[in-house]
A and B are shown apart, each in its own frame.
Chain A
């Protein structure tokens, strides 16, 4: 596609529920990143994929968070047993290679009530 697409754009869920957030990167971009942004702060790194494998998942806050990229294109960020503190904007970005810039999607605003 022309840009990075994230769905849904907004998600409201009840505490304790499971959610999936989807990212469709630019075609051909091998690197894919997930970030989380809380109000008034810069984005914080969650996980980085190079191809199908998670090259760095050190930013995932705990084991309730998991992400996959089974075919090296679309990625899904999965959050189990959601908590109110998970409320944030989840951003996805892709890049064709290490020394290129990132292109970000518009994000998914997750609200846990």
Chain B
């Protein structure tokens, strides 16, 4: 069974700081890995999808890296803004998508 761990569980930073969110998973036999954003009381919004053959993926201020062999992915958010406040979920996909508990980010204005 895939176990996904996200560290830290919560993070509070002043506006403008760069964010580093870590994800580790136990089973490296994955097709891809997705990072999602979840606002309170809302569904999941996909941020980035990294295929197992890729090392990283970028979208605007977001960059995600993947080291499949060591079971790690990192999401970097550059120059954080208050609108980035949300819970971020990492989800490696083997047979199905497995989730960690997420990192709740607060960006202070």
Does residue B78 face the partner (Cβ distance < 8 Å to A)? no
Please judge, given known A-B contacts A42-B99, A56-B95, whether A99 and B43 are in contact too, CB under 8 Å. Answer: no
State how many angstroms separate the Cβ of A36 from the closest Cβ of chain B. Answer: 11
Q: Are A99 and B32 in contact (CB under 8 A)?
A: yes
SS class, residues of chain B in contact with chain A: strand
Does residue B105 face the partner (Cβ distance < 8 Å to A)? no
Chain B: residues with Cβ within 8 Å of the partner, total of: 24
Q: Are B43 and A106 in contact (CB under 8 A)?
A: yes
Q: Tell me which residues across on chain A come within 8 A of B20, comparing CB atoms.
A: none
CB within 8 A of B101: which of A33, A40, A107?
Answer: A40
Q: Are A42 and B89 in contact (CB under 8 A)?
A: yes
A-binding residues in B (CB < 8 A): 4, 31-32, 34, 36, 41-46, 49, 51, 89, 91, 93, 95-102
Task: Write 30 A-B pairs (CB below 8 A) sorted by A numbering.
Answer: A35-B99, A40-B101, A42-B99, A42-B100, A42-B101, A42-B102, A43-B44, A44-B99, A48-B95, A56-B95, A56-B96, A99-B31, A99-B32, A100-B49, A101-B32, A101-B34, A101-B46, A101-B49, A102-B34, A102-B46, A102-B91, A102-B93, A103-B46, A104-B36, A104-B43, A104-B44, A104-B45, A105-B43, A107-B42, A107-B43
